[in-house]
Structure 1
Amino acid sequence: MKNMGVIFEIPNEYGNYLSDILQPLPINSYQWLIDNDEIHLLHDNQFTNEFLFSDDDRILSGERLYESSKNNTYYMVFVTLRAFSKDGIIKEVSQYEEFLASDCQIALAVCDCSYVMFWCKDSQLVSDMYKYAVSKSYKNINYISEEDLIAHKYYIE
């Protein structure tokens, strides 16, 4: 049984949790497709009318993604990120079979403010993410096996 991902819960509060989640990944090695996001910026602990990513920010370098997510305070309702090698073909994928057949290397989704699902083609990064989630004391941390992804038709969206 091969582990293809990790699922866990982060605290349901404002902060910069996206940069925390991205920490164990070589994010600068990829270009990132941002999809389905609602991440509200805060200023002086008050919500603003701004979002972390604009509609023009759909494909970002790893550097820009990390800097935006690290240097702001926000409340993350949901977001879907997909990482592609810098010379890969960028396209939306939501089912596991599409993920495997694509140039997408990582798929990451946060939904309902705290549930994180992470898929990755690199088994070492899957293991690193699991260990990192444990080190951060996130809750309900579990591996997602390849069999789980096939049998349960998990979606990243």
Structure 2
Amino acid sequence: MRRGLRFTIPNQYGQFLKAILSPIPLDQYRWKVIDEESYIVKDGHLNRLLFSDSIVIDGRQFAELLTQHEHYLIFVDIKAFQSHMSSEIVTYEDFLHSTCEFALLVTDSQDVTIYCKDQEMLNSLYQNASWYGFEDVTYITRHNDSRTRLSCW
């Protein structure tokens, strides 16, 4: 069974979260951002944090934030929930037993890892990443999943 996917995005300013998440109906989820270090870009310079501290944001606000500004991603830990938030998600097993539907992790500005319970959505995300020309797009399975924590840190 496929757990998720991983790929590489360019290490530059852009709207990569918008691109990565374009197959997902953002407004149908509540988004939990944890320990994020990514910035809004203004006039070609890093301005302020994209998300202020660890927050929970509704889908409409989340979508607006991703489309209004160019950003620079360094570390991102975002999890999507349709219903109530689960307790802390540390491992893949925690993810499976939680109400979390989707986890997006960005490390070192370009390494993207996505975990997704919905196999149809996962296939759409894979095709989308390939369409955008992101590099090394690969499905994650139990055989090649070396991540021990579902965290960008």
TM-score (norm: length of structure 2): 0.92
Q: CA deviation at 1:118?
A: 0.4
Q: CA deviation at 1:15?
A: 1.1
1:51-70 matches, within 5 Å, as 51-55=49-53, 58-70=55-67
Single out whichever of 35-44 and 88-97 deviates more from structure 2: 88-97
Structure 2 counterpart SS, 1:94: coil
Counterpart CA distance in 1 for 2:55 and 2:90 is 16
One-letter code of the match for 1:134? S
Q: CA deviation at 1:14?
A: 0.5
Q: Which residue of 1 aligns with 2:85?
A: 89
Q: Which residue of 1 aligns with 2:150?
A: 156
Query: 5+ residue gaps in structure 2?
Result: none
* Greater fraction of residues in helix: 1
Q: Which residue of 2 aligns with 1:114?
A: 110
Q: Is the 8 A contact 1:90 1:103 kept in 2?
A: yes
Q: Deviations over 1:78-114 (max 9, x none)?
A: 11001111x3233331211000111111011011001
1:1-157 matches, within 5 Å, as 2-48=1-47, 50-55=48-53, 58-85=55-82, 87-149=83-145, 152-157=146-151
Counterpart CA distance in 2 for 1:62 and 1:68 is 10
Counterpart CA distance in 1 for 2:59 and 2:73 is 19
Counterpart CA distance in 2 for 1:90 and 1:61 is 16
Q: CA deviation at 1:42?
A: 1.6
Q: Deviations over 1:41-70 (max 9, x none)?
A: 22111222x111113x60011111111011
TM-score (norm: length of structure 1): 0.90
One-letter code of the match for 2:57? L
The list of structure 1 runs, each at least 4 consecutive aligned residues, that deviate by more than 4 angstroms after superposition, is none
**Number of matched residues?**
151
One-letter code of the match for 1:83? A
Structure 1 counterpart SS, 2:125: helix
Taking only aligned residues, the RMSD between alpha carbons, in angstroms, comes to 1.4
